Amino acid sequence: MGSGPQGQPGPHGQPAAPAGARPKSGPLQDLVDEPAKVMRIGTMMKQLLDEVRSAPLDDAARVRLAEIHERSIKELEDGLAPELVEELERITLPFPEDGTPSDAELRIAQAQLVGWLEGLFHGIQTALAAQHAAREHAAAQAQLRQLPPGTVIAPGVIIGENGEPQRAAAPRPGVDPSQAPVPVDPDHGPGQYL
C-alpha cells in the first residue's frame, strides 16, 4: 500500500505517512529497522571482546579496535529507531582525543556495548514471546467463538450467547439432564462456605 503526497490521503482514504516516516508494522519493527544487521554487529562485538580479553594489544591493535568500535556504533545507529540511537549515544563515552585508548578502556567500552546489545536482544525476545502468546490466545478465542452457544467446553463451563465461556447452572431437580445447561450470571455462583 503506497501513500500519497504529504498531507493528502493515501490510496485507501487513509492519511499519507509523513515524508521519511517508517511504516508501522509492530513495536519490534519500530525499534529495530534492521534486526539482522544489529545481530551481526552484536555478534562481532562479542567476538572482539573475547579476543581483547585473551590477548594483550599493541598500539596498532588498540587504534584499530577503537576505530572498529566507533564504526560499529555508527552502523548500529543506522539499524535502530531514533529513541534507541539517543539511548546508545547517552551511554557511550568517546575515547580520549589525545591518544590511543588503553587495553582497559577498550575492554570497558566493548563490554558496555556488548551488554547494551544483549539487553536489547533480551527485550526483543521478550516482546516476541509476548506477541506469540497474544496470537495464540487470540486464535483460541476465535476457535471458541465458532462453537454454538450451549456447547460444553469443560465441566460446568459452556459457550454463552456472546461466544464467550460462561459458568453453567447446576442441573435442577426434575429437569432432563440431557438438555443443555443454562448459563448463569458469572458474578454469582457456588462458592466455598465454611
Cβ contacts of 87-95, under 8 Å, gap ≥ 24: 88/116, 91/116, 95/66, 95/69, 95/70
Residue 25 DSSP SS3: coil
Residue 186 DSSP SS3: coil
Question: Using CA atoms, how far apart are residues 93 and 131, in angstroms rounded to an integer?
Answer: 34
Q: Are 41 and 72 in contact (CB under 8 A)?
A: yes
Domain extent listing, the chain:
27-143
pTM for the complete prediction?
A: 0.59
pLDDT band per the 50, 70, 90 thresholds, residue 125: confident
Give me the helix-helix angle, 35-54 and 59-79, nearest 10°: 160
34-43 residue pLDDT tens: 888 888 988 8
pLDDT at residue number 22 = 40
Q: Among 62, 64, 77, 60, which residue's Cα sits nearest to residue 107?
A: 62
Mean pLDDT of 101-115: 89
Beta strand 152-154 pairing with 165-167: unpaired
